[in-house]
Structure 1
Amino acid sequence: SYSTSHFLHEFTVMTREMFTEQMAAAVGHSTKEEFGELFDKVDLAQNGFIDWDKMASFMLLSFYEKDERMNSTVIPQWKNLRLLSPVHKDTIQNITYLKGSSCYLTASRNGLLGVWGENLKLQRTLQITTEEVKLKDLWVTTVVSLANVSKIAIAFTSKEICFYDLNSKQGFSCQYRLYGLQGTVLCMDYWYNPHDGNEAILTFGDISGQVQAIAFTTALISLFERPASSPEGEEATVTISWQELVSGYHKCCYTLKHKIHYKDWVKQVAYSSSLDAFISSTTSNINTLVLAWREKLKPHLTTTSFNIARGVNAFDFHSRLNLIATAGINHQVCLWNPYVTSKPAGVLQGHSAAIIAVQFITERKQLFSFSKDKVLRIWDIQHQLCIQRVAGSFPKSLEFQATLYFNEAHGRLFISFNNQLMVLEMKQETNRRFTSHGKAVTCVLYNSVFKQVRGKKNLSAVS
């Protein structure tokens, strides 16, 4: 406006009081207190007055620093997409990281496990078998790591979950076999208390719409009690029926469940310690996303349902932002407040096909989403904008089953296409900071009269 331009033209030397009054009159939009805070930022030497040169320098430096931060930290930089050694001949069901062994584990539908080092070189393969099912009929549905007790849990279509000990002398030996489940398990999640490893929860969802959980109370000692009639020896498998757990026979754990999804297949489950709730999802448009809350001193769960048009394929929860992201079959990523079911807190639009997976980049406050047409998008959560689109580099197969796993600590995004395993790795970022000089500073002097620090950069004449 004319008044603002006239004010800046007349700006010479001003005290704090003069600055706040004239800025409020000429610019408006803010209070005198806010303009006073601006004055204090410009007047770093606390002289009690500022001039146009100080004001202009402050504004230019602020804009420059903001631009530097935006350019250097917002958009991830990736190395070329890598295809890892072809190991699996069947569809890859899971990719996970084993903290204790510092390696990655891939599991395919036929029970073949691939163990990969941190250098992404294949270390070994293992064929999982069970005594009850012939190898040709074996079908693994999902795998989860039990990091605090150095075990993995594997679910099969035979309605059983087997727990394998990673520290066994004979490789991955089956320590416990849980059988007699009411439906085939499709997904699992494991949580343990970082402050007390004895407290842990294994959550799983099945094809009958049930979400069930086993809450362990002495996980570090034993997941389940060993019956007196069980075979002796560390390598002997303890066989446990689901009814035993439900009846309370095993004092070191107890079970929880709900059937809110009715007969819809449960596609994903998770337990959130910050919400103290179980989260589950289906592809149905009714009870699509369900939160089940544990009540103190009560055995049952209280549920809250989100109805999402056409259902979702997956979800992820960011505890610090308190947001649930859903991968919509309707091509939308929705951000939900766990306590508001009526409408999403944000809708991220841009995909042209059903979204298969979503996952937060926790520290960056960003989000991955991957769609059925093989387009990977990265979103800025705060501004709800797509900041990066990756496409055209993935396999050209028309029909595929994909699994995503992001290891944030290592900056690696694994994507499986049927039996192929690929990885996108972030480039290491240099910590770029705003600097006052273009070359190394060799001398610094302090002027007590003007309360200023002056630096001298390294010139060719200075040795």
Structure 2
Amino acid sequence: EVPDFKNALKQFQKLVEKMVTQKTKKRLGLYIEDDDEIDYDKFYTTTQTLFGPDVKDHNVKAFFRKISNNLDARTEWCEIFGYFIGESDAMSSQLKEENMVFLVSEKQQISHAVVKRQDVIMGIVKVPHLDFTVTASQKGVLTIFNNQRLLRPCRVYPFYFHQDTAWITGCDFLPQLKYVVAVTERTVIVWDYKSKGSQSNCFIIKPMENGLLCVCTVTMSDHLAKDNILMGDDKGYVHLLTVTSDHFGLKQCKGKKESQLQVLDPKTFNIVKRKLHDDWVVKVKYISDLNCFGSCSSDSIHSFVLDDIKRLEDHLPVKEFSVPRGVNAFTYCGKAKVIVTGG
């Protein structure tokens, strides 16, 4: 069995090298897509064939994302089995302890364990007018902090796809409906944090067509019962989802005090989408000062898009910028009137 395992490792290394080469060429605009392209499905299937059932979906997914987000990242084959090589036991222990603390500022910490070990915060959103902060962890914990104190954590809602938990990839706050919104790979979560007592209402919009990677709220609506949500996915599409109070008319059950969860069909919502990038959409943001939305990707050709939100519906040409190896982050400074991007 040892020679077979060594051979599997060699084939896996070749698979990783080939994938990195393809993605590097793609981000430079030199790669032509064909049937030999290694996407996640092909990477997962090949890895399962090489190593069998000992390889779990979420570990393969984490490995694939690590490479996709940083082609120069150092990887070890043991990571696909859920094992990681640390510099020392002391350092590993220190990192685990730090992961259990939510940093509020340089001088203050909240010692409440918002995320458990082997879990990380994926999104932090400040809601100034309500004086609280929303966080979302990768494994599904939504939490609200008010005045630097823990207000109330949402129950953990695990969503299982192929017997593995789907990761939360981002969160935001809906200012009109006053709900928390978060996204996983095929799901939009809407949490009514105002639920009283031990009852917590959560609405699940699924299944979405592609894997959702980021989310933000469009803050231009004056309609008191409507919010618009921007989302980016793993196929290069930017989605615009409109939600109203009518969508979330919860049917109360007498005598039930536990959490209620309702699954809603995406077909009942107004959703428009447009393909703006040829790689993952890693961030979307609505810039109210400019009345525009921005989206960015590791795509070297369609790296950064900045235009009116109407472009998602009318399919007219968009204002876009090309950056070698793409754009992974951006922000807008109103005082300086500049947009800063990071690759």
Letter in 2 for 1:257: K
Letter in 2 for 1:200: D
More strand by share: 1
Aligned-partner Cα distance in 2 for 1:223–1:318 = 36
| TM alignment of 1:119-268, pairs within 5 A | 120-130=148-158, 137-157=165-185, 159-170=186-197, 173-193=200-220, 195-198=222-225, 200-216=227-243, 219=244, 222=245, 224=247, 231=251, 237-245=261-269, 254-262=270-278, 264-268=279-283
Aligned-partner Cα distance in 1 for 2:336–2:150 = 37
**How much does 1:96 deviate?**
1.9
Aligned-partner Cα distance in 2 for 1:198–1:186 = 26
Aligned-partner Cα distance in 2 for 1:147–1:171 = 24
Does structure 1 retain, via aligned residues, the 8 Å contact 2:155–2:200?
A: no
Aligned-partner Cα distance in 2 for 1:281–1:204 = 12
**TM-aligned CA distance change 1:197 to 1:324, over 3 Å:** farther
- Matched residues, percent identical? 23
Aligned-partner Cα distance in 1 for 2:214–2:326 = 17
Task: Describe the SS at the equivalent of 1:243.
Answer: helix
**How much does 1:181 deviate?**
1.1
**How much does 1:93 deviate?**
0.6
**TM-aligned CA distance change 1:161 to 1:295, over 3 Å:** closer
**How much does 1:281 deviate?**
0.4
Tell me the number of residue pairs that the alignment of Structure 1 and Structure 2 aligns.
Answer: 232
Does structure 1 retain, via aligned residues, the 8 Å contact 2:158–2:165?
A: no
**TM-aligned CA distance change 1:243 to 1:284, over 3 Å:** same
Equivalent residue for 2:137? 108
**How much does 1:114 deviate?**
3.8
Does structure 2 retain, via aligned residues, the 8 Å contact 1:192–1:199?
A: no
Q: Give CA-to-partner distance per residue, 1:341-380, whole Å, 9 cap, x none.
A: xxxxxxxxxxxxxxxxxxxxxxxxxxxxxxxxxxxxxxxx
Task: Describe the SS at the equivalent of 1:149.
Answer: coil
**Unaligned segments of structure 1, at least 5 residues:** 1-78, 246-253, 329-463
Does structure 2 retain, via aligned residues, the 8 Å contact 1:293–1:302?
A: no
Aligned-partner Cα distance in 2 for 1:95–1:172 = 24
Provide the aligned C-alpha RMSD in A: 3.4
**How much does 1:274 deviate?**
4.1
Aligned-partner Cα distance in 2 for 1:313–1:184 = 17
**TM-score, length basis structure 2:** 0.57
**TM-aligned CA distance change 1:284 to 1:134, over 3 Å:** closer
Letter in 1 for 2:247: F
**TM-aligned CA distance change 1:302 to 1:172, over 3 Å:** farther
Q: Give CA-to-partner distance per residue, 1:357-415, whole Å, 9 cap, x none.
A: xxxxxxxxxxxxxxxxxxxxxxxxxxxxxxxxxxxxxxxxxxxxxxxxxxxxxxxxxxx
Aligned-partner Cα distance in 2 for 1:182–1:135 = 19
Q: Give CA-to-partner distance per residue, 1:260-282, whole Å, 9 cap, x none.
A: 212x1111101234443321001
Does structure 1 retain, via aligned residues, the 8 Å contact 2:199–2:260?
A: no
**TM-aligned CA distance change 1:167 to 1:80, over 3 Å:** closer
**TM-score, length basis structure 1:** 0.44
Q: Give CA-to-partner distance per residue, 1:24-54, whole Å, 9 cap, x none.
A: xxxxxxxxxxxxxxxxxxxxxxxxxxxxxxx
| TM alignment of 1:427-446, pairs within 5 A | none
Aligned-partner Cα distance in 1 for 2:131–2:335 = 26
**How much does 1:316 deviate?**
1.0
Aligned-partner Cα distance in 2 for 1:322–1:185 = 30
Letter in 1 for 2:240: A
1:282 to 265, 288, 297: 297
Aligned-partner Cα distance in 2 for 1:149–1:186 = 23
Does structure 1 retain, via aligned residues, the 8 Å contact 2:215–2:229?
A: yes
Q: Which has the larger radius of gyration?
A: 1
Q: Give CA-to-partner distance per residue, 1:103-142, whole Å, 9 cap, x none.
A: 2232211122343332x24344333215666996242211
